[in-house]
Amino acid sequence: MLTEWRAGFQADPVPQRRRAHEAWLLEHLRRHGRASRAELVDATGLSRATVSALTADLLAAGKVVVTETPDPGRLGRTPQSLALNPAAGLVLGLDFGHTRVGVVAADAAHEIVGSATRPYPRSTPWETRCAIAVRLARKVLGEQPDAALAAVGIGIAGSISDRPAVVEAIREAFTAAFGVAVRTDNNARLAGLAESVWGAARGTPDVLYVRLSSGVGGAVILDGRVHRGRGDTAGEFGHVCLDPTGPLCRCSNRGCLECYVRVESVLAHGGVTTVAGLAEALDRDEPRARAAVTEAGQRIGLVLAGAGSVLDVATVVLGGDLAALREHLVRPVRQTLARHLHPDKVDDVTVRTAELGDLDGALGGVALVLHDPSIAFTGPLSPRHLPGSA
Ligand SMILES: [Zn+2]
């Protein structure tokens, strides 16, 4: 999109071009949080002098603030980063899991200013889940009474494209409660987006994210953006077929990846009942546990090698319950990827476990809003955030 803006404004008069470049810098900061002037030069392709002049104007206008980035390992001056003025407003992110809701509030500078989770029984109807979530969100926001809410981003477990009534009910509940724009998406996909913004794949534009829990979902992030696909179902790694004569999957196909690597299957195969128990058995190098995780890792790696070859992506993040197995799972996934990816890509293979923990889906809700240019921040600029003030 930025490239299009750039091309479109190349022949325009100077003030219009300047506004476009300014919007470009603000868009970069909104998507990535903080950035140094050198990073803005790299990201935008603008000259150092242009970035300096534009950021000086944005600082004077209070749209951008200077943040110090502490780096204990670095001697000398702390490098200065720029961020959107946090007083521009807040974003709420929510994640409706099967048995709990998570809420995160973050400001325009990507700082998390509040978070909370509440459990509910699996059988809880959506109306009750929404009421619990709205109360929790109000409590989190109540800790920031002066901040204007810009929008709400909500993740929902499972496919959302085949449950329009549920999505509509959630949107209505939050629109009525907060009177702002509401965006929704699958929570596994949002967890992947959050890992690419704040977590294990921060700074990496192209990422394959797989969430390994009771269900197996994921996200395809290309050029820093979630790839959704024609029917909004992209990233369904769990329903890639490994064996057309395999077990029946809940999606009605046979031999899907999810049938073999959902957490319950791996635990049963490993002869344990919890992921912590499996990790302990792996630490003791018990053959049954090792075989279960090696086979799961090989199957996951095979599916990712196919996706990675088609999309030319070699960075993988493993999330969900099985991510707690860390290197025990990463190793067979990495080995299988390296074996089956195109030889040109093997040196670039990176496999990591997720870093954001339980609030990953709610953080993804925040990122969903921050990455949506149709949502504007409208909050007032408070004096304490203006340049020159402490
Ligand atoms: Zn399936």
Distance from Cα 251 to the centre of ligand 1, integer Å: 4
Domains held by the chain: number: 3
Ligand 1 centroid – CA 341 distance (Å): 23
Q: What range defines the domain where residue 267 resides?
A: 200-355
Q: Check whether residue 351 and residue 204 sit in a common domain.
A: yes
Question: 275 C-alpha vs ligand 1 centroid, how far in Å?
Answer: 23
Same domain, 343 and 245: yes
Phi, psi dihedrals of residue 317, rounded to the nearest 5°:
-120, 130
Q: List helix spans (H) across the chain.
A: 2-9, 14-32, 37-44, 48-60, 126-142, 164-178, 187-197, 257-261, 263-270, 275-283, 287-311, 327-340, 360-370
Query: What is the per-residue pLDDT for 158?
Result: 74
Kindly give the distance from the C-alpha atom of residue 211 to the centroid of ligand 1, in angstroms, as a whole number: 15
Say how many Å lie between the CA of residue 259 and the centre of ligand 1: 7
- Per run of 10 residues, the mean pLDDT along the chain (length 390 residues) is 51 77 93 92 93 95 85 62 93 94 95 95 94 96 84 87 87 95 94 95 94 94 92 92 96 96 97 97 97 98 95 94 96 94 81 95 96 84 40
For 338, counting Cβ atoms within 10 Å of its Cβ (0-12 exposed, 13-18 middle, 19+ buried), the class is: middle
Question: Do residues 33 and 83 touch, judged by C-beta distance below 8 A?
Answer: yes
| Single residue among 84, 110, 141 that ends a domain in this structure | 84
The residue with tokens 């020159």 is 388
Please report the pLDDT score of residue 222 as a whole number. Answer: 96
* Alpha-carbon distances of 144 from 90, 115, 148, 232, 363, rounded to whole Å: 9, 12, 9, 34, 18
Q: Output the CA 155–ligand 1 centroid distance in Å.
A: 21
389 part of a folded domain: no
pLDDT for the residue 278: 98
Q: What are the backbone angles phi and psi of residue 211, rounded to the nearest 5°?
A: -105, 120
178 falls within a domain: yes
227: CB partners within 8 A, 6+ apart = 220, 221, 234, 235
- Going from the Cα of 7 to the center of ligand 1, the distance in angstroms, rounded, reads 43
Distance 248 CA to ligand 1 centre (A): 8
If one counts every other C-beta atom within 10 angstroms of the C-beta of residue 320, the result is 24
The CA distance from 366 to 251, in Å, is 29
**Spacing, Cα 346 to ligand 1 middle (Å):** 28
Largest CA distance in the chain: 70
Q: Are 365 and 155 in contact (CB under 8 A)?
A: yes
User: Is 31 in contact with 370 (CB distance < 8 Å)?
Assistant: yes
CATH number at residue 24: 1.10.10.10
The pLDDT value recorded for residue 145 is: 75
**329 and 373 both lie in a single domain:** no
Among 55, 84, 113, residue at a domain's last position: 84
Same domain? 137 vs 151? yes
The residue behind tokens 């970069």 is 28
CATH number of the CATH domain containing 296: 3.30.420.40
The Å distance, Cα 215 to ligand 1 centre, comes to 10
If you measure from the C-alpha of residue 41 to the centroid of ligand 1, how many angstroms do you get, rounded to a whole number?
A: 45
